[in-house]
Amino acid sequence: MNPMMNFRFDVILVLLCSSVFFCQCNKDNTNQLDNLLFSEEFDTDGPIDESVWNYDIGTGIESSGEGWGNNELQYYTDRSENVFVENGLLHIVARKEDFEARQYTSARINTQNKFDQERGIFEARIKLPEGQGIWPAFWLLGSDISEVGWPNCGEIDVMEYRGQEPNKIAGTVHGPGYSAGQSIGNTYTLSEGGFDEDFHVFKMEWGINNLSFYVDDELYHQVNPSNVPGQWVFDNPFFMILNVAVGGNYVGSPDASTNFPQTMLVDYVRVYGN
């Protein structure tokens, strides 16, 4: 090889090494997160498994304030009319009916004190309902919420959605100084069709100082401590929540165009860690 060839070879080698190193950095958060820690496949028909899940009941007045802190309109129940497992799928059903002085019922279930995890991959395969005022979500709250309150505990919305915009979902984080209207989120829009037409996988990878949000393995949102105008609170275990709200600040009320009942179907919820 002449000196010029050597030079070119060195440059190419350096470029190759840099790109390999760069890729390893990007994937470093996920490489160690391949151990299945939690798997809810919803393969037993009937009520939800209460060794894993709790029901949130009522209007939220005891915990978050009337309307679950968001002026939501539904009354959450544990009745089979609102929540059950059938044919491998969790069904959460929002209904229009008079119940306990409310006009709507639905369900919200959580893993508080039964399963929580710090860092890892949290994913669920879900087919969403649709319609003005329908607000389903797959989300996480810091397990220290009973000590420090919200938003100090942190909140990670892996997926939330406005039923009147069925082609778009959002992934969002809330914490002290960046909650509610100041939360840090981004949206993902389907190129065609709606999230009510088929199942999709909603995934959040939680590494050290990094949260990454995916739809069907497509990355659309990342958050790290430099993005949040407040304390980074994603260094404690979080528990999971699945719900379908009706009305509230995020979506507005249902109207004459909204068809009831509306059902969220969940095929599975899985958590991987190291």
Please give the positions annotated as active site.
Answer: 155, 160
- Minimum distance between the CB of residue 270 and Ca ion, rounded to whole angstroms? 10
Residue whose CB is less far from Ca ion, 86 or 118: 86
The answer to whether the CB of 236 falls within 8 A of the CB of 118 is yes
For residue 70, what are the contacts with CB-CB under 8 A and spacing of at least 6? 245, 248, 249, 250
Does 197 contact Ca ion by CB under 5 A?
no
The DSSP secondary-structure symbol of 248 reads S
**Mask for 214-243, x = binds Ca ion (CB under 5 A):** ------------------------------
Amino acid at the residue 54: N
Q: Considering the complex, state which of residue 42 and residue 75 has its C-beta at the smaller distance from Ca ion.
A: 42
Taking alpha carbons only, the member of 153, 169, 179, 244 closest to residue 204 is: 169
Contact between residue 75 and residue 98 where contact means Cβ atoms under 8 Å apart: no
CA distance 48 to 256: 32
Task: Supply the minimum distance, in Å, between the C-beta of residue 112 and Ca ion.
Answer: 22
Which of 41, 81, 197, 235 forms a contact with Ca ion (CB under 5 A)? 41
Task: Please state the closest distance from residue 43 (CB atom) to Ca ion, in A.
Answer: 6
DSSP state letter for 15: H
Tokens found for residue 224: 């790290």
Residue with smallest beta-carbon separation from Ca ion: 88
Site map 68..107 versus Ca ion, x via CB under 5 A: --------------------x-------------------
Among 81, 144, 235, 267, indicate the residue that binds Ca ion (CB under 5 A): 267
Over 89-112, what HEC string results?
EEEEEEEEEEECCEEEEECEEECC
- CB closer to Ca ion out of 40 and 116: 40
User: How many chain residues bind Ca ion (CB under 5 A)?
Assistant: 5
Residue type for position 16: L
The secondary structure of 39-87 as a DSSP string is: EE---S-BS--TTT-EEE-BSSTTTT-TIIIII--EEE--STTTEEEET
Candidates 9-17, 41-49, 102-110, 131-139; binding stretch for Ca ion (CB under 5 A)? 41-49
Nearer to Ca ion, 195 or 268 (CB): 268
Question: Judged by CB under 5 A, which of 38, 42, 139, 161 binds Ca ion?
Answer: 42
Peptide bond into 261 cis (omega under 30): yes
Closest separation between CB of residue 121 and Ca ion, Å? 18
Residue whose CB is less far from Ca ion, 88 or 261: 88
Residue number, 99 or 199, with CB nearest to Ca ion: 199
Binding site for Ca ion (CB under 5 A): 41-42, 88, 267-268
